[in-house]
Chains A and B, each alone.
Chain A
């Protein structure tokens, strides 16, 4: 029978193209369980793809530039808030350290962001438009005033000039500090990267809380323990929120939560949670001793840094396998849970 394309019905499967072709037309996967006692999150799913090739492009953002930028922005943002409130409540040592953290973090994050561009010399092209639809555009207008204010505040703090200007600069950077730490969650979520986009309601909280853990942790390292009370409290609260929200990111999104558990991103996320939890615990137990403050502050900052790398790399991993694109989209088509029509007209 020479049916060809006129044959009704399906039954067509991608033919084996030889040893070099992996057959993904009928791929069975085990649950996510890999020895660590994890629960299988996804049942056996069949899906088709074009010879196993990825559908969405892998982001061209470089590592460590971008994860580092996310970390520095978070730490600098939360530090600037801490610095401003500490200044207003007359805590000079905490103020000074938080301002330095904010200033150094701001300058370094600008460097990391510019270095990540394909054409770094064209960084100023970011400032020719302001687009609310582009988190990177909005972020540029958060980062620019923040880094100017925080950098200048740190500089005059170092030089001891203009005390009133210093306070003003500190307040300006504090206003932009919160958005700087949380907009990066939007930056990652507003993409077609499956594991980032699915967590769009959580990532801003993850990065904001993680930023507080890092900013508080760094202040704990350098501020004498008798004045570091606010830093400790902010760090512990940030760590607790981070752990709670990360748990949702890692478990609430079906198959696209899977990359957070597997391979290198899985290890990074595990290490991040361990560091953050240990750092928070140690802060409570031994945060009032010099050695304990240094150890727990370092752990908290490391946990925050690892969270950024873990989230970043999990998203990268989710672009490389077509199942993370096809299966969720098939599921929502089958469930009819979208308010929009199918892109397929039969």
Chain B
């Protein structure tokens, strides 16, 4: 088989037309034109059940890839300031944030029979003139801070056991998000210059010296990963540390992760490990555990970077059912062709239907 330019996956000839745009693909690198002796497809398995939200991955990624801040002065990131919503001030993946640790604080009502005798804070919470709920929370927090030496009040600060407002339970979800390195990558499909390409490892990487900043990939990514660096004009995203992979090292984020929440390896091995982990968690009663992006029959043909989540994907800012936009491209070209024929038909009719001067 002759080597086909990896920059033009759409021109690989008509052999094996099936699943070029959609559906499972057993070997993405071969489909992109690599010789059969290419390395195995690698990936990330991010097990959020052991993520502690330390953001070591974010830091390691920024350091290794020398990612700047988001403004040209190097002072501010995309959010500009503190988000005010949670411990997450990175906010999203972007041109300069290739790992993003999502942090979600959740509460739920506890319907267990609780002891009804008063604890410090309870009476204060109910009394007082503040009408707004938010005001209540603030006054409660102030009250707790003023009695911070009180052991009982201290226990209320523990997010796993604290029961603010007497009948609420709090939990934290943390998840390190990253480019999914899709089997059918929308960004790669729509790139008009071939700057985005499939590597021999099955990952998707931007070539900075080719990208002309057209921005099509930004609009095409169903996960909202890739973005344009405003002062530079070009787009940037996770490369799965392509430079490190070629030297036999694992990506910076996976190396830095202290809890093995981010696991790097051959994709088929990671998938097995993830299935086992899911089974273990289910056996332990964690019924909300689920894998995200692991199924190769999904809308993007499966992700190269997939996740174990503890709640619905959208809670973490992930789309619940992403589909690669080019799945529908043949139908779109057909519509465009018909519309062009329609134009000629209307124009011909208009001219022939008019009297000559």
Contacts and interface: CB of A to CB of B under 8 A. Distances in A.
Interface in A25-78: 47-51, 53-57, 59-61, 77-78
Interface stretch (B7-15, B58-66, B69-77, B198-206): B7-15
Interface stretch (A11-19, A148-156, A254-262, A290-298): A11-19
B299 A340 contact: yes
Nearest to B195: A125
Contact of A131 (B8, B234, B349): B8
A309 B265 CA distance: 46
Interface string B174-201: 0000000000001001111111000000
Contacts of A132: 10-11, 333
Nearest to A52: B85
A186 B219 CA distance: 13
A204 B215 contact: no
A125 B227 CA distance: 19
A178 B325 CA distance: 24
Interface in A304-346: 322, 325-326, 329-330, 332-333, 338, 340-346
Contact of B107 (A12, A48, A205, A209): A12
Contacts of B212: 117-120, 122-123, 125-126
Interface string B228-272: 100011110000000000000000000000000000000000000
Contacts of A205: 335, 338-339, 342
A190 to B, nearest CB: 5
B332 interface: yes
Contacts of A122: 193, 211-213
Interface in A214-230: 216, 226-227, 229-230
B8 A129 contact: yes
A4 B355 CA distance: 81
Contact of A50 (B10, B314, B332): B314
A85 B351 contact: yes
B310 interface: yes
B304 interface: no
A19 B84 CA distance: 8
B297 interface: yes
B28 interface: no
Contacts of A330: 314, 320-321
Given A48-B315, A211-B343, A234-B350, A344 B320 contact: yes
A179 interface: yes
Contact of A57 (B133, B224, B295, B331): B224
Nearest to B91: A53
A11 B109 contact: yes
A101 interface: no
Contacts of B343: 77-78, 81, 177-178, 181-182, 208-209, 211-212
Given A50-B314, A53-B92, A192-B325, A345 B335 contact: no
A326 B284 CA distance: 30
B84 A21 contact: yes
A201 B338 CA distance: 10
B326 interface: yes
A232 B293 CA distance: 53
A16 B137 contact: yes
B311 A12 contact: yes
Contacts of B348: 85
B332 A15 contact: no
A3 B347 contact: no
A81 B291 CA distance: 53
B234 A119 contact: yes
Q: Which of A8, A12, A55, A342 has the most CB of B within 10 A?
A: A12
B335 A204 contact: yes
Contact of B315 (A50, A81, A118): A50
B294 A186 contact: no
A289 interface: no
B298 A51 contact: no
A49 to B, nearest CB: 6
A51 B86 contact: yes
A132 B286 CA distance: 46
Nearest to A9: B287
A330 B312 CA distance: 11
B210 A136 contact: no
A278 interface: no
Q: Which of B214, B325, B353 has the most CB of A within 10 A?
A: B214
A8 B287 contact: yes
A181 to B, nearest CB: 6
Nearest to B111: A11
A233 interface: yes
A346 B294 CA distance: 11
A88 to B, nearest CB: 8
A322 B226 CA distance: 17
Contacts of A90: 356
A197 B332 CA distance: 10
A189 interface: yes
Given A21-B85, A78-B347, A185-B336, 8 more contacts: A50-B104, A122-B213, A125-B195, A129-B11, A178-B341, A181-B343, A329-B319, A345-B291
Interface of B: 5, 7-11, 21-23, 49, 83-86, 91-92, 102, 104-110, 112, 133-134, 137-138, 160-161, 169-171, 186, 189-195, 210-216, 218-228, 232-235, 278, 284-288, 290-295, 297-300, 303, 310-323, 325-326, 328-329, 331-333, 335-344, 346-357
Interface of A: 1-6, 8-21, 47-51, 53-57, 59-61, 77-78, 81-82, 85-86, 89-91, 116-120, 122-123, 125-126, 128-137, 140, 174, 177-179, 181-183, 185-186, 189-193, 197, 200-205, 207-209, 211-212, 216, 226-227, 229-234, 237-238, 241, 322, 325-326, 329-330, 332-333, 338, 340-346
